[in-house]
Amino acid sequence: MTFLDPLINGLSLGSLYALIAVGYTVVYGIVQLINFAHGEIFMVGAFGALSTWIVLGQASANLSWWMLPLMLVGGMVVGVTVAVLMERFAYRPLRHAPRLAPLITAIGISVFLQEFVRLFYGAIPGFPDAKAAVVFPQIEFFTGPAIEFGGAVIQRATFFTLGALAVSWAFLWFFVNKTKIGRAMLATSQDPDTARLMGIDVNRIITIAFAVGAALAAIAGTAHGLRYGNIDFKMGFLAGLKAFTAAVLGGIGNINGAVVGGLVLGVVESLATVYVPGQFGGAAWKDVWAFVLLIIVLVFRPQGIMGAKVVDRA
């Protein structure tokens, strides 16, 4: 095994974290809200993609490469819908409530979405029971045999995940910096009140922030399904927690920070599995090291690796 193997594994895992972390960061940057339920959007997005395949491809066992864009769109539609509804009906009424209220709401939504999928996904005729892990369609083009490259093994799904992250990142850069809506988002994040005075519909901007985050989380959900071959109703909890860690690591509120943080976290986890010696090494402790890293960063560099807007919300 070369050093490359764990590095690539880490980047692959990290790019999933990064895709989810962007959602935390975009929303936090604008409303200073930790959307705790964002991990569930990742889960719901994956189930949306799976549903799309069940409706469109399952009958003919269609696993051609062009199924994937359809599944991505399906996942994004479901993820964005849930996120927008969540923002409208659960978070918006609480915008001026004390900090505790939206956090508790988020926990509630998170539990509710998990249970909803667990209990009712299988009740739809033709859909598999979601009480345990559900098999995700394996599209040969993206999940076929691994490619050996200079002694390192790279799985095809890794290319897809990294590629999806690169495209999303480029798109986000363009969206935020070059479009009118993106600049409105920047303005709102800097000063919502002035932005409102300038004629920006802040509510709309917030909804868009939720939608953008959800779309990326749905992509991550689909990538997760391809990479690991199965999805389940509780996959959002730990992934969401790790992604939040990544967002804080990079500097919450900073989109580039979220991407860098995600990749760093993935690599750290992967390298810790391999290179921490003795009893405290191995996969059993990798989550502990990831969270310890979070605490260390918060203590010594609360603004994160890339630096964040200083927000005082104590």
Partner 1 sequence: MSKKTMVLGVAALLSASIALTACGSRTAETSAATTKTAKIAVIAPLTGDLSVMGLGIKNSVDLAIKQANDAKAIPGWTLALDAQDDTANPDVGANAATKVAADKSVVAVVGTLNSGVAQSVQPILNTGNIAMVSPANTNPSLTIGADPANPKRTYPNYFRVCTTDAVQGPFAAQYVYNTLKLTKVAVVNDKKPYGQGLAEAFAKEFTKLGGTVVDNATVNKDDKDFSTVISVMKSKSPELVYFGTEFQLAGPMSSQMKAAGLNVPLMGGDGIYDDKFIALAGAKAEGDLATSVGAPIESLASGKSFLEAYKAAGYKDGYSAYGAYAYDAANAIIAALKVSLPNSADAAAARPGTITALANVSFDGVTGKVGFDKYGDATAKVLTVYTVASGKWVAKATDTAK
Partner 2 sequence: MTASATTRQRAYNVERIVGLVGGLIFAVSAFFPWAYGHEALDDMAYFGSPSPLQWFAVVMALALINCLAASLLEPTLNNSTGFLKLLGRISKRFGWIRGARALAIGMLAYAVLAILAVALELNGLVNLEMGAWVALVGAGIAFGSSMMLPTGRAPFLERIPSYPVLEIATIALLLMGMLFASAYALSQEDGGTFLMVLVFIGALAGFAIGSGFGSWVATAGRRHRTVLVSSAFLVAFLFPFTQNGSDANMSIATQVLIFAATAVGLNIVVGLAGLLDLGYIAFLGAGAFTAAVLSESAFATINWHPPFIVVMLLSGCISATLGLIIGSPTLRVSGDYLAIVTLAFGEIFRITMNNLDGSSGPNLVHGSSGIPAIPNLNFFGFDFGQSHVVAGIELGRFANYFFLMLVIMSIIILVFTRLNHSRIGRGWVAIREDERAAEAMGVNVFGLKLLAFAGGAFLAGFAGAVKAHVDVSVVPDQYVFLESAFLLAAIVLGGMGTVMGVLLGATLLKLVPEKLRFMSDYRMLIFGLLMVVMMRFRPEGIIPNQRRALEFHVDDEELVEDVEERLPYEFVEFEEVPA
Residues near partner 1, by CB under 8 A: 1, 5-6, 9-10, 12-13, 131-133, 135, 138, 143, 145-146, 148, 153, 155, 157, 224, 227-230, 234-235, 238-239, 269-270, 273-274, 282-284, 286-287
CB of 180 to partner 2, least distance (A): 30
The owner of tokens 């409303």 is: 31
Say if residues 142 and 226 touch (Cβ distance below 8 Å): yes
CB of 266 to partner 1, least distance (A): 9
41, two tokens: 């959007």
Q: Which residues pair with 147 in a beta bridge?
A: 154
SS3 112: helix
Residues 6 or more apart whose Cβ sits within 8 Å of residue 34: 24, 28, 102, 103, 106, 244
| Residue choice 61, 96, 126, 197 for contact with partner 2 (CB under 8 A) | 96
Instruction: Quote the CA–CA distance of 147 and 153 in Å, as a whole number.
Output: 6
76, two tokens: 């994004």
Instruction: Quote the CA–CA distance of 309 and 147 in Å, as a whole number.
Output: 41
CB of 7 to partner 2, least distance (A): 24
253, two tokens: 């509120």
312's contact among partner 2, partner 1, none, with CB below 5 to 8 A by partner kind, is: partner 2
CB of 11 to partner 2, least distance (A): 23
288 binds partner 2 (CB under 8 A): yes
Give me the residues that bind partner 2 (CB under 8 A), please.
32, 34, 90, 93-94, 96-105, 107-116, 119, 237, 241, 244-245, 248, 279-280, 282, 284-285, 287-288, 291-292, 294-295, 298-299, 302, 311-314
